[in-house]
């Protein structure tokens, strides 16, 4: 009797181990079947999808902190164009969105952040690209999106704004209603900033003072 009492728990223990091994094996197989987030082509696929949408749908470009956004005018869905996007891909997307090509492409060699490539459109938007320093020596230089700025658009061209409707010509009162900002006098003028990382210049300090310049990310401003 005593022997039987000892053998029974041992068999139960063996069965538990066997079931545990089956459970672990199933979990491992499930993890192997799950899609991986570190797929090196994922970003390229997402950008290609964004480009297709820009070509086939009516998109609006919206200013945001550390990025730009494309907003579908019918569905309201949005796609982010983040800092770090390669130059050629981003320019193609913006050209398709605006249905017009950039009006100028210049490299400014003596900016505080190093050489910067500036690509501008006639609606006042300028994209700032910085050299990709992670490329190996001797490889072809490419440029990555690292900032944007906006100033006056030509007459008849739709002005760019944030999701809150803030853009060139918005007043100090309007931006204070939309964001928490800090205003200070610098060599650039009456400069304001938001906690999230958008900056701009106001023509004065009165509540009706208008925004004359906006930017986010890397810039070539000399103070």
DSSP SS3 for 79: strand
**Model pTM?**
0.73
Q: Are 133 and 141 within 8 A, CB to CB?
A: no
Dist CA 217 CA 220 (whole Å): 10
Dist CA 57 CA 199 (whole Å): 31
* Predicted local confidence at residue 208, as pLDDT: 97
User: CB-based contacts of 89: which residues, under 8 Å, 6+ apart?
Assistant: 47, 51
Kindly report the backbone phi and psi dihedral angles of residue 12, in degrees, each rounded to the nearest multiple of 5, phi listed first.
-60, -40
- Residue pLDDT, tens place only, 173-220: 999 999 999 999 999 999 999 999 999 999 999 999 999 999 999 999
* Predicted local confidence at residue 200, as pLDDT: 97
- Residue pLDDT, tens place only, 67-124: 999 999 888 899 999 999 999 999 999 999 999 999 999 999 999 999 999 999 999 9
Dist CA 139 CA 125 (whole Å): 30
Domain boundaries, the chain: 161-218
Scanning 35-163, the segments in alpha helix (DSSP H) are 42-56, 87-98
For 54, which DSSP code?
A: H
- Residue pLDDT, tens place only, 21-77: 444 444 444 433 333 344 444 454 455 555 555 455 588 999 999 999 999 988 889
């Amino acid at each position: 009797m005593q022997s039987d009492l000892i053998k029974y728990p041992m068999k139960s223990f063996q069965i538990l181990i066997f079931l545990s091994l089956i459970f672990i094996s199933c979990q491992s197989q499930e993890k192997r079947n799950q899609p991986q987030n570190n797929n090196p082509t994922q970003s390229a696929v997402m950008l290609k999808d964004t480009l297709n949408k820009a070509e086939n749908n009516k998109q609006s470009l919206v200013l945001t902190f550390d990025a730009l956004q494309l907003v579908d005018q019918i569905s309201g869905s949005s796609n982010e164009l983040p800092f770090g996007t390669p130059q050629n891909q981003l320019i193609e997307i913006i050209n398709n969105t605006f249905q017009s090509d950039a009006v100028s492409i210049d490299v400014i060699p003596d900016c505080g952040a190093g050489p910067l490539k500036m690509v501008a459109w006639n609606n006042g938007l300028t994209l700032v690209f910085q050299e990709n320093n992670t490329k190996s020596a001797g490889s072809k230089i490419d440029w990555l999106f690292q900032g944007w700025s906006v100033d006056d658009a030509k007459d008849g061209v739709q002005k760019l704004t944030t999701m809150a409707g803030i853009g060139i010509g918005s007043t100090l009162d309007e931006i204070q209603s939309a964001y928490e900002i800090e205003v200070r006098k610098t060599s650039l003028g009456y400069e304001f900033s938001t906690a999230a990382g958008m900056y701009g210049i106001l023509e004065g300090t009165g509540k009706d003072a208008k925004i004359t310049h906006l930017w986010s990310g890397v810039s070539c401003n000399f103070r």
